[in-house]
């Protein structure tokens, strides 16, 4: 934590705790299965891989700055106006743009206690004050957000479905929130939208209301976490503001081509959705049978709940020793839980089996 420079950074910067990405390896263990980052176990569309390789032949060229091809593809698939779409280096960068543009010293950025860690990081980076409110049994509490807002609140972040709880709230509830906080932009972070059924990620609200903005990502169901592409959609005025602070070449040509091809391959996405839903139901039931409950998940992970922190941590160690990497979520205020990404069928069976062994040995 020692900072050798004598030049102090802006207020807020040293409040930031570094984001812990988690390991992909366990020393001395082979066949490690990584279920800790909510990645798609099937990876991206084959067409996306091919597009990435094609794009790699022109690495000496700067990418285009307006992202027209990618925005057109997103617009066609989602039925949205491409002029209201902005693309970024993951949705992380869109979250960052929002805080840079709308928050700052003397303002507040609001989110929920088990909300995504980037909201706090980006709020501090902008010099704003992060404010978090309680959830109700691991579900976003709209009334608590409304009560937590002040005249200084500029942004309200709401992951829906939420990471790491996997729960979500209905769109009428989000509309109620947006109408109650006209001084702020309500950001619906829909990184996991494709895993929920009959859900547009808040797109219709962001079309209709002046203070709702939606963020999306290629890192989850599109299987492109390594490519770093996300996007945002909302009122033209907000998109215009964000574009002013966006670096002109923020996305590489490799990223742009890969994401566009991935967006157009709907068959791959449909297959991944079906397989996730099937194994999510299976894993939730298998864990429950072994005495490990979870809330109904609308995402590509399950939040497994243990009696206490010590049990959750021993289970994590036990899994790791057998090559299964899951996510501790104490940093999200959930120390008695482990977040387990829905892998392919073999990984789900393996993790259920090892959790079962752990629970049996404890009994």
Contacting residues toward ligand PMP, per CB under 6 A? 90-92, 116, 159, 163, 189, 191, 217, 219, 225, 230
Which SS3 state, helix, strand or coil, does residue 108 take?
strand
Closest CB 163 distance from ligand PMP, rounded Å: 4
Nearer to ligand PMP, 153 or 219 (CB): 219
Closest CB 116 distance from ligand PMP, rounded Å: 4
Task: Give the single-character DSSP code of 31.
Answer: S
Closest CB 189 distance from ligand PMP, rounded Å: 5
Nearer to ligand PMP, 189 or 200 (CB): 189
Closest CA to 227 of 80, 27, 93: 93
Nearer to ligand PMP, 117 or 354 (CB): 117
The alpha carbon of residue 200 and the mean position of all alpha carbons in its chain are separated, in whole angstroms, by 16
Nearer to ligand PMP, 116 or 199 (CB): 116
Q: Degrees (nearest 5) of the Cα angle 186, 213, 142?
A: 30
Cα torsion 266, 158, 330, 103 to 10°: value is 120
Closest CB 223 distance from ligand PMP, rounded Å: 11
Closest CB 125 distance from ligand PMP, rounded Å: 15
Q: Is the dihedral of CA 285, 290, 294, 298 positive or negative?
A: negative
Nearer to ligand PMP, 163 or 350 (CB): 163
Query: Rounded to an integer, what distance in angstroms lies between the CA atom of residue 267 and that of residue 40?
Result: 15
Q: Which residue is nearest to ligand PMP (CB)?
A: 90
What is the DSSP secondary-structure string of 183-199?
Answer: TSEEEEE-TTGGGSSS-
Which stretches of the chain are DSSP H helices? 46-55, 68-78, 90-102, 117-125, 142-148, 171-180, 203-208, 236-245, 253-264, 266-289, 309-321, 345-362
Q: Phi then psi for 136, rounded to 5 degrees?
A: -110, 110
Maximum pairwise Cα distance, the chain: 62
Nearer to ligand PMP, 213 or 358 (CB): 213
Closest CB 180 distance from ligand PMP, rounded Å: 22
Closest CB 211 distance from ligand PMP, rounded Å: 19
Output Rg (C-alpha) for the chain, integer angstroms. Answer: 20
Nearer to ligand PMP, 116 or 358 (CB): 116
């Amino acid at each position: 934590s020692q900072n050798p420079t004598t030049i102090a950074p802006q207020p807020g910067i040293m409040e930031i705790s570094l984001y812990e990405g988690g390991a992909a390896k366990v020393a001395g263990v082979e066949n490690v299965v990584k279920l800790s980052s909510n990645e798609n176990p099937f990876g991206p569309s084959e067409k996306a891989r091919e597009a990435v390789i094609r794009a790699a032949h022109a690495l000496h060229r700067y990418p285009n700055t307006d992202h027209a091809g990618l925005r057109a593809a997103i617009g066609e698939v989602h039925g949205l106006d491409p002029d209201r779409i902005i693309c970024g280096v993951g949705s992380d960068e869109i979250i960052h743009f929002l805080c840079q543009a709308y928050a700052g010293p003397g303002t507040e950025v609001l989110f929920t206690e088990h909300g995504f860690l980037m909201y706090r990081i980006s709020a501090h980076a902008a010099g704003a004050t992060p404010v978090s409110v309680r959830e109700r049994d691991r579900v976003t509490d709209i009334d608590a957000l409304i009560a937590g807002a002040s005249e200084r609140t500029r942004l309200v972040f709401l992951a829906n479905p939420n990471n790491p709880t996997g729960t979500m709230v209905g769109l009428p509830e989000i509309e109620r929130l947006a109408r109650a906080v006209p001084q702020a932009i309500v950001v619906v972070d829909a990184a996991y939208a494709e895993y929920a059924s009959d859900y547009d990620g808040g797109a219709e609200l962001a079309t209709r209301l002046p203070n709702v903005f939606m963020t999306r990502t290629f890192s989850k169901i599109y299987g492109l976490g390594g490519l770093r592409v996300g996007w945002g959609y909302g009122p033209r005025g907000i998109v215009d503001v964000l574009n002013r602070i966006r670096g002109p070449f923020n996305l590489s040509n490799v990223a742009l081509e890969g994401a566009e091809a991935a967006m157009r391959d709907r068959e791959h996405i449909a297959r991944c959705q079906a397989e996730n839903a099937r194994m999510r139901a299976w894993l939730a039931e298998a864990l429950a049978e072994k005495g490990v409950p979870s809330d109904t998940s609308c995402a590509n992970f399950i939040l497994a709940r243990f009696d206490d922190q010590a049990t959750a941590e021993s289970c994590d160690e036990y899994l790791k020793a057998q090559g299964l990497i899951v996510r501790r979520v104490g940093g999200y205020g959930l120390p008695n839980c482990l977040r387990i990404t829905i892998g392919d069928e073999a990984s789900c069976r393996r993790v259920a089996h090892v959790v079962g062994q752990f629970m049996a040995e404890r009994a």
